[in-house]
Structure 1
Amino acid sequence: MTHSEPGSEAHAGMVPNDFGVPSGERIHVDGLLEALLAVSAGLDLDTTLRTIVKSAIALVDAKFGALGVVGDSEELKQFVYEGIDETGRELIGDLPRGRGVLGALISDPKPLRLDDLSKHEASVGFPDHHPPMKTFLGVPIQTRGQVFGNLYLTEKTNGRAFTAHDEMIVLALASAASIAIDNSQLYALTKMKQEWLLATGEVTTALLAGADALGVLQLIADKSLSLTSSDCAFLAVPPDPELTGVATAELVVTVASGLDSETLVGHGIPLDFSTSGAVYRNKFPIVTESLEFDPGFGEGHEYGPAIVLPLRDGQQVRGVLAVLKLRGAEQYGADQLASMSAFADQGAVALRLADNQRRMAELDILADRDRIARDLHDHVIQRIFAVGLSVQGTLQRTRAPEVHQRLSGTIDDLQDIIQDIRRAIFDLHATEDGAPSLRSRLNQVVAETSADTDLRVTVQVRGPLSVVDPSLGEQAEAVVREALSNVVRHAQASTVAIVIDVHDSLTVTIADDGIGLPPGAHRRGLKNLCERAFALGGTFDAQSTDGGGTTLVWSVPLPDGNE
C-alpha cells in the first residue's frame, strides 16, 4: 500500500518530476487534453459527472470507475458508476453510502492509492455478486474550497497497480472537473431561478387576469411540486378567512398536488403538535426530515423530507405551503428553500385577493339588496297604496252589495300584498347567517303592529346594535312590541317616536302624542315591561308628558363582555 503526497499543481502540458515516475514513462498529453475538453463541454451536471468518470477510466486504463457526491451528513448522496451493467447492479443491491475505504477518503480528503483494497484498515469487503476489485485509486474533487465528492478507480486492465503517473493524471482531471462541476452547478442554479421566475410570472398573470383564487392556489401547489421534484404538495389555510394568528385552532387543506392529493383536500391540521401549526404561528419556514402530524395521507405512501413555508402577507400569515418527498429520498437543499420562500408569498397574495373578492361580492349583494328594498318601498308600495285609495273611493260610491263585498276583499288583498312586500324588504336586510338583524326585527315589529292604523312611527338607533347579544335582543324586541301595542290600543296617538340607545346599557325609549296615562292606571302590559327590566337588573319608567302623551323608558345594563 502506498499513499501519494502531491506536490505543486500540474499545469497544462507540464509534469512535476517528484512523483516517482519512471524516466521512460511520459504523460499522454493529447489524451489528457481531450479528456479536459470533454469534461468541460457540457453544462448538465449529471452528464458532466458521467463524462468525468468515463474520461478517468480511459486515461488510466481502469476497468471500473465511479464518482460519489458527498452529502451534508458525510454520506454519499449520489453515486455515478461505470463498468458494471444494470443486471450486475441489481444483483449487488443498494449503491454505496460511503463506508469502508470510500468513507476513509470522505473523512480524509487526500489522494489514496492502494495495491490491495482488502489490506486497508477501513476495508469492509464487498457485497455478494460484486465483481472482484484489488487495486484502487481515489482522488477528491473540490469546488469553491469544499469537497464535492470523490473519484474512485479500480483494476487496471493490464492487472498492474496504479502508478504515481496515474495519480498525477487523475489529479489534473479532478482539477478540471471541479471547474466543470462548478459551472454545471451555477448553470443549474440559474436555470432553477429562471424556472421559479417563470412560475411567479405565471401566477402573477393569473392574479392580474382575475382568475379564480382557488385556481391560482392550485397553480402554486402544482408549480411547487414540479420545481422541487417533490412527490406531494399541499396548501392549508384557516377554516374562516376572518380568523388569523391565535384566533384559530386548526388549518384546513385547501388544495393539493401529486400523490394523495385527492385524500388530502378538506382534512384539518391542528396548530398544536404539528409542523404546519408551528410554521403558521412562528411565521418562519421549517425544513424537516418528516412532518410531526399526518394531515391525511393515504396508507400506501410514507413521506420523509419536507419543507413547510408560511404564506406571509406583511405581518400576517394567511396559511402554509408544504412540499414533501417519499421516505428515503434526498433532503431539500438551501437553494430550494430560498426559491420557494419568495414563491410562497404569491399564495398569500392570492388568498388576500380571494378575501377582497369575497368582501366586494358581499358589498355588491348588500348594495343590490338596499336598492331592491328602496325600490319596493318608494315605488311598488306607493303604487299599491294609490290603487288601494282608488278602490276605496270606488267602494264608497257603489250601491250593489255584491260589488261592495268584492271591492272590500280586494282592499284586504292589497293590504296583505303590502305586508308581504314589507316582509320581503326586511328579509333583504338579513344577516349573513340567514337570521334577521336586530334592527330589521325591530322594524318588522313596528310594521306589523302599526300596519292597520294611521299611526306614524319613527325609529332612531344610537350606538352599535351589533354588540347586543341575541337573548337581550329578543327582550328588546318584546318590549317594543308590547309598548307599541299599548299605544295602538289605548293611547289614541297619531305619532310614536322610538329611540334605541346602546352605550353601557341598552335603553329603549317610546314616546307618543296620545292622551297620556290616566291617573291610577295599572295595565298588565306595563307590568310585564317592568318585570322584564327588573329580571335583567334594569329599570323601567312610564310617565305622562306635559304636552300630552306618554313616555316609556326601559333600560338594562349590557353584559360585561360587550362593554
Structure 2
Amino acid sequence: MSSDVPSPVCDPNLGGIEAVSSAVLAMSRHLEVREVLRRITASARSLLGAEYAALGVPDDHGGFAQFVVDGVTDEQWKAIGPLPRQHGVLATMLHDLRPTRLTDVRRAPAFEGWPSAHPELTDFLGMPVVDDGEIIGALFLANKDGGFTAQDEELLRILAAHAALALGNARLYERSRELTLAGERARIAHDLHDAVSQKLFSLRLTAKAAATLVDRDPARARAELAEVARLAAEAADELRAVVVELRPAALEEDGLVATLASQVQVLDRAHSAAVTFATDGVRALPPAQEAALLRVAQEALHNALRHSGAAGVGVTLTGTPHRGALLRIADDGRGFDPESVRRAGRHLGLVSMRDRAAAVGGTLSLESRPGQGTVVEMEVPGA
C-alpha cells in the first residue's frame, strides 16, 4: 500500500553500518505501533533496494493482526483483497527463526500462489522479527535487481533486531497510554462524585426546604427556590464539562486545531468564564504529539475552570520555527503558589501533564502567583 509517510532514503554510498543506522533512526522516531511498522517496512525496502516490502504481525487465529506493505499503490492493495493468511512461505517464516532467501519464490516447496491482482514476485528475502526468542513478525522483501545477497541478508538481520526493539517500545508506549486513559476515567468518576453528586444532594435538600416554607414564609421560599436554580445551573455546568472530557477526540478526522477549537467552543458555552482560542502557523504534527497537546490543554482548562475562579481563559496554539508547536493556556484567576501546592501534595494534574510532554519529546512550564492568574505552556518539536 502506498504510504503518505515518506520513505527514508538510505544513501547507497554509505557503508552497511551507516546505512542501517540511518534506517534505525528513521523508524525509532515514532511511538505508535502502526507508524513504527510503516517505518520498518519502508526502511527495509530502501536499505536493500527492493521493489516491494511487507511486514506482518500475526494474530492467534491463523491470520495477521496487522500487515503493512511498501511499494504497492492504494489501488493495487484494494484490488488484492483481504489480508493474507498464515500459509505457504509466510507460515514458514512465522515458525522458523532462520531467514528465507530464494532466487524465485514461485519455485519454493511451500509456495501456494497469490490473488490475481497481486504483483509478480521473483527473488525473495524473508526475515523473522524476534523478541526474546518469540517470532513477533515477518519482514520480507522481493524483486531486487541482481537478486539478494548474503550481505543483504545480514543487513536485514540487523535491521530486524532493531525493529523488534522499536516495536516492543511502541507496544509499551501504547499500553502506558491505555493505563493513563484508565486513570483519567477514574479521575473523572471521582470528580463527578465530588462535584456533581454533592451539588445534586444540596439541590434536593434546598428544594425540600422551599417546599416547607411556601405557605408560612413565601419570601424565604422564593429565596430557597432561587438557590435551587443556582445549584441546578452549576450541576449542569459540571455535567457538560465531564461530557467534554469523556467525548472521544476527533483528532484523526479533524486534526488538532479543529478539535481544540471545538472543545473550547463547548467549554465557553458551558461555563460562565469566557474561553477563547487562537491559532497561527501550525503545521501537521506527529499523532502522538497532537494527542499529548490535546490532553494537556484539557487538563489545564479543567484546572482553570474548576479551581481558579477566572473570568477569562485564553488558549493559543502557534507554530514554531522548527516545525513544532507551542500551546499556551492562560487564565486571569486567583492564581497560586506552585511550591506551596507541591508541598501540600496537590499536584493539579501537573505531574501527568509533564509526563505527557516528556513522552513526546516536549517540554512543559507553569507560571502562577496568588492574584495574578496562571499560565501553562507546552512545546513539542514536531516531526
Q: TM-score, normalised by structure 2?
A: 0.48
The structure with higher relative contact order (CA 8 Å, sep 6+) is 2
**Between Structure 1 and Structure 2, whose CA radius of gyration is higher?**
1
